[in-house]
Amino acid sequence: AAGVPAPEFFAVDLETGFLALSDFGDRQLLGVVQDEPEAVLSILSEVTGLLNTVARVDCTLPVYSESMLRAEMDLFPTWYLTRLLGLTLTDAFWPVWQDVCDRLVASALAEPQVFVHRDFHSRNIMVPSKGGLGLLDFQDAVRGPLSYDLVSLLKDCYIEYEPWIQQELVEDYRQAWLSDPQVQAMTPIAFFQTFERMGLQRHLKCAGIFSRLCLRDGKSRYLNDIPMVMKYVATVCQSQPEFRDFFQWLQAFVLPDPMGRSA
């Protein structure tokens, strides 16, 4: 619908739980960019073009609210720091953490609010052999920050892209949205910093979710993705002065052993 290549439903049987829907094949974007490293920029440029279409879909959706943003970040101390790493969080941690959450929520809510897929990453984007792109897993879509899905794509938890590729495509995306007054008022640097803050919110959530998937659901394979997620977290916290205190805390207690192997 609306020019978005989502699966088409042909038949539904609720009693048996079967669906008949269009098949995008089994080529995920993840495998394509791994197999064709020389074409990563052009491939991702095509995908950001798709995202530009997705974000403009006009329909009624749940709002990506402040309470939802905060609940997602709460997974970080609850599941990652406390349960996976076994840390005891002292009184010194909580004011620093609260400041991080407040800043990230304010930044997210200040962005233009658009259609957000919420899982716009390389395992949900299909590359059919006949050409084009396919997009899976729309069920968690919300109305939320413009940069959220862009972060999911360019700061993917399952593959890392060169910083210059991220920067070039973020700027291309900013230019595609210059008709929006809020985007128009932002410099390229300000837009990229907003993208970075949105990434920090998402990756704090992902560290918590991956920990929960391992500990509660027995899906230990997600532990392998935590080091990259924490690298993203550390890079943003180190580069933005507003998160310096949090970065120093992470340096002291988390970053030397982000998997808790020495525990």
Q: What's 178's domain CATH number?
A: 3.90.1200.10
What integer pLDDT is reported at residue 156 of this predicted model? Answer: 95
* Distance between CA atoms of residues 235 and 233, nearest Å: 6
pLDDT tens string for the chain (263 positions)?
445 555 444 344 455 554 334 454 567 788 888 888 888 998 899 989 989 998 998 888 999 999 999 999 999 999 999 999 999 999 999 999 999 999 999 999 999 999 999 888 788 788 766 666 777 666 788 999 999 999 999 999 999 999 999 999 999 999 999 999 999 999 999 999 999 999 999 999 999 999 999 999 999 999 999 999 999 999 999 999 999 999 999 999 999 999 976 44
Per-residue three-class SS string for 40-100? HHHHHHHHHHHHHHHHCCCCCCCECCHHHHHHHHHHHHHHHHHHHCCCCCCCCHHHHHHHH
Is 54 a member of any domain?
yes
- Residue 227's identity, in one-letter code, is P
Is 7 a member of any domain?
no
Q: How many residues does the chain have?
A: 263
142 — phi, psi (to 5°)?
Answer: -140, 175
Is 3 a member of any domain?
no
Is 262 a member of any domain?
no
Residue 169: which of 147, 187, 154 has the closest Cα? 154
- Residue 54's identity, in one-letter code, is V
Is 8 a member of any domain?
no
Domain count, the chain: 1
Residues 6+ positions from 137 with CB-CB distance below 8 Å: 117, 119, 124
Helix 226-239 and helix 188-215, axial crossing angle in degrees, nearest 10 = 150
Query: What's the token pair of residue 58?
Result: 């006009």
Provide the residue range defining the domain that includes 86.
21-253
Neighbours of 236 (CB within 10 A): 23
Q: Rounded to whole angstroms, what are the CA distances from 40 to 5, 73, 123, 201?
A: 21, 31, 15, 25
> Is the pTM of the predicted complex or chain greater than 0.75?
yes
Is 82 a member of any domain?
yes
- Residue 161's identity, in one-letter code, is Y
Is 12 a member of any domain?
no
Is 35 a member of any domain?
yes
What integer pLDDT is reported at residue 11 of this predicted model? Answer: 43
